[in-house]
Amino acid sequence: MQNKFPIDPRTASLRTTSLRQQTHLAERISHINYASTNPALSYVYSLSATDTTGGQANARYTLERLARYILGNSFQLIDWIKLFNDQKKLIDAIKSFLIARAKQKAKMKNHYFSVNQPIKNLQVKPLLNALLNVAEVLRCEQSLPDSCVIEFKDRVAVFDLGCFNKTMIENGWLQPILSQDYSFELSKQSEVMLEAFSCFCIRSCVERFDWSRILYAPILQSTIQSFLSDRIDNQSSDRKKTYAPATADNLLRMLRGVAQHAWLAELISVETLERIKAIKLPRGSRQSSGRYLSYSELDHISAITLNQKNKVKALRDNAIFWLMYEAGLRRAEVINVNSFDIDMNRCQLRVVGKGNKERYVPFSRNSDLYNAMAKWLGVRLKDFNPNLPTLFCTINRYQSLTYMRLTTQTLNDLCKKLNMLGFSRVVSPHDFRHSVATNLLRSGYDLLLVSKFMGHSSITTTQRYDRRTDDDLKGVIPSR
C-alpha cells in the first residue's frame, strides 16, 4: 500500500550521510557534552565571545599549570614500554601531535593552516631528543630491548613531518596508567615538549582534573596560596621574589569563572559559589613595568628604523612604531587593523580591542603618525586586494608584500631589534602604550578621557599606566 503521508526530508531525524560524517558528528557531540561537564573548559570557551584569542590562551595556560601542580607531570602517566613496542603508532602519534600544534599556532595567529605549506617553529628536535632519552632510560632499566631502541633511533634519523598523509590520531587516544617514578635528565625545552606530547596522548591536565575536588572556599584558598608559594620557592635565582598581586588576582578571577560555570552545570550550590566569590587574597600593588619613551627617543627609533636596507619594511615598521606611540594601540590591536579601518581624511582609526569593544582613535594631520602612515599607505594600497585587507603585512627580502598578517611575536621581535640597531635600551611594544597615556596626562587631559582613548574598562587601569614622576608634583600646590 502506498504511503499517503510521505516523509518530509526537512523534518526527518535521520539523514543519509557517510560513515565518516556520522563519526565526525558523534565526536563533535561527545566533545560538546564533555566540555559542558568540565567547568574549566566551559569557562575558557566562554571567553571566545568577549575576549581575545590571547585571553583564552592565557586562561587555559594558567589553569593548566594549576591542574598540573595538583596532578603532577603527565609523562609519569604514560605507558612508554607499550608505546615503544608499537613504534609505527608512536611515530604517527608524534606527527599527529605536531600537526595539531601547528593548527593551534595558526589559529592563535589568525592564519589559515595548510599542510602543503612549510610548518616551522614546532620544536621537533627537542621532542625527539626527549623521546630518545626516554628510550635510553628504559633500556638501562632493562624494560626495553636494545632492538627497540635501535629501531627508534633509525626512525628518528629519517623523521619527516611532510610525508604524513594518514588519518590524524585524535587528542586523548591513550589511556593513562598509574603514576610511575620515571627520572629523565632533560633540558627545559625537551621537558616542556615531552609534557605537551604526553598531554596530547592522554588529554591535558585541565581536561583530566576533577575540578569539583577544589571548588570549596577553604580548599580553593589554600590551593591558590600553596601554588603561588611553591612558584616562588622553585625559582632558580638566589634572590627570592614575591609574586605580583596581579598574578594572584588573575588566578583568583579565573577560578571564580570556573566556579561560576560549575554552578551553571549544577555541580556546586549557589552557597558554595558565593563563598568562593568571597575569597580575599593579600592585597597590594606594583608600579607598572612599562618604561616611558620620550618624543626625542621616538625620533631616534624612527631614524634607525628608516635606515634599514629593506626600504619597504622600513616604512612599515616606522608606521607601526608611531601608531603604537601616538594611538596607544595594544599588540593584538595593531596586527588586526585593516586598511579600511583608517580614515586619513577624517584623521581617525577604528580599533576593535579587548572584549570585542570598538573605539575610534583620533590623530592630527600635523602629527608624526599621519606622515608615517601616509608613506606606508602609498606602498600598501598599490594593487590593493579587498580579500587581503590587513594594514600591516609581511614583506619578503625582495621588498615585495606577501599580504600575510603579522603576529604579536613579530612586534616583539621588532622592538628587540631596535637595541641591536643602536637604540640605547631594550623596549617592549607595551612601553609605547604606557608612554602615550603619560603624555596625555601631562598635557592636562582628564583621566576619564584618557581612559576612553586607551580603551580601558576602568580608570583604575589608566592610573597604573601613569609614568609621571615626583618632579611633576612640584607644581601641584593646594591654595585657598
The answer to whether 403 is a known catalytic residue is no
Instruction: Of 283, 199, 228, give the one whose Cα is nearest residue 62.
Output: 228
The Cα–Cα gap between 321 and 410 comes to 13
360 φ, ψ (degrees, to nearest 5): -115, 125
* Residue of 101, 275, 313, 456 marked active site: 456
Residue pair 349/337 in contact by the 8 Å Cβ criterion: yes
Alpha carbon 82 to chain centroid, angstroms:
34
The answer to whether 300 is a known catalytic residue is no
* Residue of 354, 359, 417, 464 marked active site: 354
* Residue of 95, 203, 465, 467 marked active site: 465
Which residues, listed in sequence order, are joined to residue 343 by a DSSP beta bridge?
A: 348
> Which residues, in sequence order, are CB contacts of 40 under 8 Å at separation 6+?
63, 67, 206, 209, 211, 258, 261
Q: What value, to the nearest 5°, has the Cα angle with vertex 28 and ends 23 and 29?
A: 100
The SS3 of residue 401 is strand
The SS3 of residue 203 is coil
* Residue of 68, 313, 433, 467 marked active site: 433
Residue pair 151/131 in contact by the 8 Å Cβ criterion: no
The Cα–Cα gap between 295 and 298 comes to 5
The answer to whether 231 is a known catalytic residue is no
The answer to whether 359 is a known catalytic residue is no
Residue pair 171/203 in contact by the 8 Å Cβ criterion: yes
* Residue of 68, 316, 380, 430 marked active site: 430
Quote the cell numbers at residue 73.
607531570
Radius of gyration of the chain (CA): 27
The DSSP call for residue 285 is -
Give the burial string for 359-390 (b: 16+ CB within 10 Å, else e). Answer: eebebeeeebbbebbebbbeebeeeeeeeeeb
The answer to whether 430 is a known catalytic residue is yes
The answer to whether 354 is a known catalytic residue is yes
Per DSSP, helices labelled H in 143-269 are 146-157, 188-202, 205-208, 217-233, 245-264
The Cα–Cα gap between 313 and 376 comes to 9
Quote the cell numbers at residue 432.
609605547
Catalytic residues: 330, 354, 430, 433, 456, 465
